[in-house]
Chains A and B, each alone.
Chain A
Amino acid sequence: MNAHQWLELALYIGALVLVTKPLGLYLNRVLNPSRRTWLDPVLRPLEKFTYRVLGVDPAKEHGWKQYAFAMLLFSLVSCLFTYAILRLQQYLPLNPQKFGALSQHLAFNTAVSFTTNTNWQSYSGESTMSYFSQMVALAIHNFFSAAVGIAIAAALVRGIARHTAQTIGNFWVDVTRIMFYLLLPICLVLAIFFVSQGMIQNFKPYTTAKLMEPQTISVQKTDANGKLVVDAKGNPVMENQTLDTQTVVQGPMASQMAIKMLGTNGGGYTNANAAHPFENPTPLSNFFQMLALLCIGSAMTYHLGRETKNQKHGWAVWSAMFTMFLAGVLVCWWAEARGNPIHQQLGVAVAGGNMEGKEVRFGIFDSALFATVTTDASCGAVNSMHDSFTPLGGLVPMFNIQTGEVIFGGVGAGLYGMLIFVILAVFIAGLMVGRTPEYLGKKIEAYDVKMALLAFVILAFIILGFTAWASVSDWGKAGLNNNGPHGLSEILYAYTSCAGNNGSAFAGLNANTPWYDTTLGIDMLLGRFGMIVPLLALAGSLARKKIVPASAGTFPVSGFTFVALLVGTVVLVGALTFLPALALGPIVEHFLMLKGNLF
């Protein structure tokens, strides 16, 4: 924890603060179709043409049920479209490596994963996906799913801001405008910047390079049929292989990486994700990838304040997010910088902390910051292996996801997740003083609290339910590479990551099996749409309400008390729900590590 690292943290926070207001103002214009943006002269004709082709009347707004139906229909069609591409990959163009079709369970898992903005990957991109699949099946979904998330948040904010209204916006208009005015222009600039840093963007076949020093490795022998050979006792029979060439990945990477980060998708072009030098070439690209991850989530809070005509409330929500962000970064950084005491006892400790699973280019701090940022957002990108973090360092990313990724969060998803906690916080405040809770002039009634709780409870139910099932099943345990509490953490992280639509992996879990692919796919569907549907119902309910004038007893939704109550609600609800599971996983592993046991 040196001065240079503190300076980088300050720079990151400063950049995030600086970008929040201008991007929030622009976002506010994009999400209000009647308002003009500076891109209107170029994009307005294209926008109108799109509505004409789709047969959409942009002046006609949706009630919450129509909005939910349009969102579900759009997601289903795009999910089936992706499934078809992945299953027919070998017949489609731009496949110089001649990759075959994905198995049915992997195609299902991947199609659901990208539809739900999760980007969980049970495959290695560079050895599975053709350029066509990367661009048409996956990168397009990165835009679609991000736009859907922002649209849902926009609809909820409209529900809060409007009164005695029956509609919450037009889903097709929201998605079109977010794509054209927000995501595409920023991604264009970001992709060009990434290319300037050395990220690749081409359609060349993979390059075969001759190694300067051939390597001899020991691998398990295979028979003529390609099956692994074992001896009479069942032990693997090993043989030496000399490698003198290396295959170097090529392809349209920069265009995909821009939306991967901006849209908080996170699905890597390569298996190493943002730890790969092509996918994250320089410290500057690393910095801007992290900034791209949180900038829209941060700007959404400004949009909330602007739309509800209460900018102090927007900043209060931002402050609550920032407080939890800073706490997460500091704990994760401290745990990784402190390192593993067993290494220190053995005299093999690396100066500066735990370097296992980390890129030397990025080191402890940039790995800890990236891990915190990517799990604050619902992004699956990683520049280090979370499985190799110390138990407490690994607990931070997992807890970030378990809070519902409300710390700036995924694009849109972070704000709508946080607004659930805002509703719960004002409800708790109302209970404490014995009066009907109000939120920005709206009375929060039983129906609203039911919808808010339903949206949260579904996450807890599927994460803990699927983890428990996998932990005691043969199919669940078969995928583990580690036993004991670390093995439980691997399973818990997988179902947490998928339910929270994060997509980052703890690694160490072989999830490309029919059971894991199918159950994780269902986990992602329930985590995304099981939460969105009650949120839209909540938006519809809030939009219909009348405004009640504020009185002396109205709980203020800005200022220190509100921020403290909001942070307390998020942490306590998260802790109460997941602490027992965390105690059996990373917490007990931490104490066992201090006693000299590793898993």
Chain B
Amino acid sequence: MPFVGLKIMLDLIYIGIAVAFFAAFLLYARGCEKL
């Protein structure tokens, strides 16, 4: 069970990285507008 938990946690980390970067690109677009 801990192994399964670790695998799911790693999945969430990598999905989180992708989502965080796309959210950052949205903020980046707002920054570009104000530059």
CA distance A76 to B29 in the complex (A): 15
| CB pair A83 B29 closer than 8 Å | no
Which residues 505-553 of A have a CB within 8 angstroms of B? 518, 521-522, 525-526, 529-530, 533-534, 536-537
Q: If the complex has contacts A76-B19, A533-B25, are A83 and B32 also in contact, measured as CB distance less than 8 A? A: no
Contact present for A75 and B22 (CB under 8 Å) = yes
**Contact pick for A522, options B17, B22, B33, CB 8 Å:** B17
From residue 1 to 35 of chain B, which have CB atoms closer than 8 A to chain A? Answer: 7, 10-11, 13-15, 17-19, 21-22, 25-26, 28-30, 32-33, 35
Please state if B25 and A529 are interface contacts (CB–CB under 8 Å): yes
Which residues of A from 553 to 580 have beta carbons under 8 Å from B?
Answer: none
Judge whether A65 and B29 touch: CB under 8 Å. Answer: yes
Query: For B30, what are the chain A residues with a Cβ–Cβ distance below 8 Å?
Result: 65
A450-B35 contact given A72-B26, A533-B25, CB 8 Å threshold:
yes
A79 near B18 with CB under 8 A, answer yes
Flag if B28 contacts A533 (CB, 8 Å): yes
Indicate the member of A72, A454, A518 with the most B CB atoms within 10 Å: A72
B6: shortest Cβ distance to chain A, in Å? Answer: 10
- Contact yes or no, A530 B28, CB < 8 A: yes
Q: Identify whether the interface residues of B are mostly helix, strand, loop, or mixed.
A: helix
Determine the distance from Cα of A108 to Cα of B19 in the docked complex, in whole angstroms: 12
Q: How many pairs of A and B residues are in contact by the CB < 8 Å rule? A: 65
Q: State in angstroms the CA–CA spacing of A450 and B13 once bound together.
A: 34
Chain B, Cβ-Cβ closest to A73? B22
Q: Are B14 and A83 in contact (CB under 8 A)?
A: yes
Residues on B with beta carbons closer than 8 Å to the beta carbon of A83: 14-15, 18
Within 8 Å CB of A483, what residues of B?
Answer: none
Decide: B32 and A80 in contact? CB cutoff 8 A. Answer: no
Closest B residue to A455 by beta carbon equals B32
Contact A108 to B14, CB < 8 A, known contacts A69-B26, A533-B25: yes
Residues of chain B lying within 8 A (CB to CB) of residue A108: 14, 17-18
Question: Does A112 count as interface, using CB distance less than 8 angstroms?
Answer: yes
Q: Which of A72, A76, A87, A536 contacts B11 (CB 8 A)?
A: A87
User: Which chain A residue has the least Cβ–Cβ distance from B25?
Assistant: A529
- Interface pair A76/B22, CB less than 8 Å apart: yes
Q: Are A534 and B32 in contact (CB under 8 A)?
A: yes
Partner pick for B14 among A105, A533, A536, CB 8 A cutoff = A105
Query: Could you tell me which A residues sit within 8 Å of B by CB distance?
Result: 65, 68-69, 72, 75-76, 79-80, 83, 87, 104-105, 107-108, 111-112, 447, 450-451, 454, 518, 521-522, 525-526, 529-530, 533-534, 536-537
Q: Which residues of B pack against A, CB within 8 Å?
A: 7, 10-11, 13-15, 17-19, 21-22, 25-26, 28-30, 32-33, 35
- What are some 20 contacts across the A-B interface (CB < 8 A)? A72-B22, A72-B26, A75-B22, A76-B18, A76-B19, A83-B14, A83-B15, A104-B11, A104-B14, A105-B14, A111-B18, A112-B18, A451-B32, A451-B35, A521-B17, A525-B18, A525-B21, A533-B25, A534-B32, A536-B29
**Given A68-B29, A104-B11, A536-B29: 16 more A-B contacts, CB < 8 Å:** A72-B22, A72-B26, A76-B18, A76-B19, A80-B18, A104-B14, A105-B10, A107-B14, A108-B14, A108-B18, A451-B32, A518-B17, A521-B17, A525-B21, A530-B25, A533-B28
